[in-house]
């Protein structure tokens, strides 16, 4: 393929152009000039003296936006860095990610927000937005200074990885965050109930001899936070929803006007607890993989809008971190580079979701949840675009992934649909290495 990296003006011609806002996919051509989408035409071919990237058979969509990424830098650069994490994002079709606060030091101070944004500007391969902590050191005791964090560039607040167990702290946090117009993203698991659990509590946890976390551990946490969001009138976003009961609580809350949004991860939407039969540590995640009825409820919630968007919870861990007894392995799996292919294979390919709805759940909807720019296919917008071959079969392997870590249960498994690369402000980044 021609190297499009240094082209400043060119046409992408004959692509199937996905517009998540209108919900249409139509064949056409896009003129990219000076980093912007200058023109969209519904012609297959264009008469022009400018260079033309022939994209017949490929899908052109707004770049994906991930609102739940663990970049690990600063502090855990052996797992991932801002450079490798954003390269993984770009390779997976993302042109913007929002990184979580559980680094070392924790992103609970304006100087750390500024540090991450500076590092991302210097070495990042996509746009990076920062989530700051709700409480100092993620300890759930003292709330941070949200005004200063917002001034430094934080776009949301989260103690992700931990639930804020003290309800008064969460109430105050919501009140102050609301004054700043910041969303609080909550990791909903009651730690007293999930205590030392390894998977979902069910027939399977008994069969496999692993301590389980009951769905109630998530649902109790979701119920409290919804009630506090209702009390304070502040914005709440529920991270990685995984149970049918949590879906039900969010659905009812939305109906009575609570300002709550929610996300689901590719792994909770496509993988279930029975897959832990081989004790693959890469399937150990928080909250845990659940049962088939939960997955069915999550899919219904994606279709009816109860769950607003898809987010990866990309959580890199080194091979050494994971090569220990199951109960000692840290939870989490990577996801940025495989999310589209995994969801296209398992959901679109099996008739669970339309392709345009999947695109919307990965572009305009996450942008709406956090009030971020992007996710639109429109003239005058930055040329942040993803080019996809929805039919290409490929197999993720260590060698063709860019993340520093390889903790994915999908290695060696054939998937359908491959991101070819992204344009970031018109600059090409190829996914294929």
Which residue's CB is nearer to Zn ion, number 159 or number 384? 159
- Report, in Å, the least distance between residue 158 CB and Zn ion: 8
Which residue's CB is nearer to Zn ion, number 160 or number 225? 160
Q: Give the alpha-carbon dihedral of 269, 270, 273, 276, to 10 degrees.
A: -140
Which range binds Zn ion by CB under 5 A, 134-142, 185-193, 336-344, 402-410? 185-193
Does residue 70 belong to the site contacting Zn ion (CB under 5 A)?
no
- Report, in Å, the least distance between residue 134 CB and Zn ion: 13
Which residue's CB is nearer to Zn ion, number 160 or number 321? 160
| Window 216-245: contact mask with Zn ion (x via CB under 5 A) | -----------------------x------
Sites for Zn ion among residues 114-173 (CB under 5 A)? 160
- Report, in Å, the least distance between residue 114 CB and Zn ion: 24
Which range binds Zn ion by CB under 5 A, 32-40, 127-135, 181-189, 221-229? 181-189
Which range binds Zn ion by CB under 5 A, 180-188, 224-232, 351-359, 425-433? 180-188
Helices (H), 195-347: 203-208, 215-232, 244-255, 266-270, 292-304, 319-322, 339-343
Structure-block tokens of residue 111: 């100087």
Which residue's CB is nearer to Zn ion, number 80 or number 160? 160
70-73-78 Cα angle (round to 5) = 95
Which residue's CB is nearer to Zn ion, number 239 or number 359? 239
- Report, in Å, the least distance between residue 367 CB and Zn ion: 20
Which residue's CB is nearer to Zn ion, number 190 or number 352? 190
Helix/strand/coil for 277: helix
Tell which phi-psi region holds residue 375, choosing left (phi > 0), alpha (psi between -120 and 50) or beta.
left
- Report, in Å, the least distance between residue 184 CB and Zn ion: 13
313 catalytic? Reply is: yes
Catalytic residue among 313, 321, 327, 357: 313
Distance CA 388, CA 244 (A): 32
Which range binds Zn ion by CB under 5 A, 31-39, 104-112, 182-190, 406-414? 182-190
Helix/strand/coil for 278: helix
- Report, in Å, the least distance between residue 18 CB and Zn ion: 29
Distance CA 87, CA 103 (A): 19
- Tokens 């294929």 identify what position? 432
Helix/strand/coil for 13: strand
119, 150, 162, 187: which one binds Zn ion (CB under 5 A): 187
Non-local (6+) Cβ contacts of 299 within 8 A are 269, 347, 352, 353
CB count, 10 Å around CB of 325?
8
Total site size for Zn ion, rule CB under 5 A: 3
What does residue 19 show for φ and ψ, rounded to 5 degrees? -115, 105
Distance CA 9, CA 31 (A): 7
Which residue's CB is nearer to Zn ion, number 158 or number 364? 158
Distance CA 413, CA 338 (A): 11
- Tokens 């399977």 identify what position? 204
Catalytic residues: 313
Kindly list the residues in this chain that would bind Zn ion in the complex (CB under 5 A).
Answer: 160, 187, 239
């Amino acid at each position: 393929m021609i190297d499009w990296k240094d082209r400043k003006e060119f046409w992408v011609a004959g692509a199937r152009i996905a517009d998540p806002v209108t919900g249409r996919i139509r064949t056409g051509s896009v003129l990219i000039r000076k980093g912007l989408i200058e023109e969209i035409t519904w012609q297959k071919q264009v008469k022009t003296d400018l260079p033309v990237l022939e994209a017949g058979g490929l899908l052109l969509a707004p770049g994906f936006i991930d609102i739940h990424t663990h970049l690990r830098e600063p502090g855990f650069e052996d797992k991932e860095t801002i450079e490798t994490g954003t390269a993984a994002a770009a390779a997976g079709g993302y042109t913007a990610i929002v990184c979580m606060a559980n680094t070392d030091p924790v992103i609970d101070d304006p100087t750390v927000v500024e540090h991450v944004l500076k590092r991302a500007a210097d070495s990042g391969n996509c746009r990076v937005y920062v989530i700051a902590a709700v409480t100092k050191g993620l300890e759930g005791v003292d709330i941070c200074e949200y005004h200063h964090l917002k001034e430094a560039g934080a776009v949301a607040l989260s103690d992700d990885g931990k639930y804020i167990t003290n309800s008064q702290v969460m109430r105050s946090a919501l009140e102050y965050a609301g004054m700043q117009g910041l969303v609080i993203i909550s990791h909903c698991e009651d730690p007293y109930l999930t205590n030392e659990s390894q998977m979902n509590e069910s027939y399977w946890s008994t069969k496999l001899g692993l301590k389980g976390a009951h769905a109630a551990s998530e649902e109790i946490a979701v119920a409290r936070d919804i009630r506090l969001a209702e009390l304070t009138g502040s914005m709440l976003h529920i991270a990685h929803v995984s149970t049918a009961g949590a879906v039900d609580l969010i659905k009812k809350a939305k109906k009575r006007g609570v300002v709550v949004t929610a996300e689901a991860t590719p792994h909770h939407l496509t993988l279930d607890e029975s897959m832990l039969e081989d004790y693959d540590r890469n399937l150990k995640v928080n909250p845990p993989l659940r049962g088939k009825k939960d997955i069915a409820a999550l899919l219904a919630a994606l279709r009816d809008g109860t769950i607003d968007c898809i987010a990866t919870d990309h959580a890199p861990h080194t091979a050494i971190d994971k090569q220990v007894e199951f109960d000692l392995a840290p939870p989490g799996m990577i996801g940025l580079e495989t999310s589209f292919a995994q969801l296209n294979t398992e959901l679109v390919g099996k008739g669970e979701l339309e392709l345009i709805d999947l695109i919307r759940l990965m572009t305009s909807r996450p942008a709406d949840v956090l009030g971020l720019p992007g996710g639109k296919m429109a003239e005058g917008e930055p040329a942040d675009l993803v080019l996809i071959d929805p039919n290409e079969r490929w197999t993720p392997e260590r060698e063709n992934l860019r993340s520093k870590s390889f903790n994915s249960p999908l290695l060696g498994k054939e998937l359908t649909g491959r991101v070819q690369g992204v344009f970031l402000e018109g600059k090409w980044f190829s996914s294929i290495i």
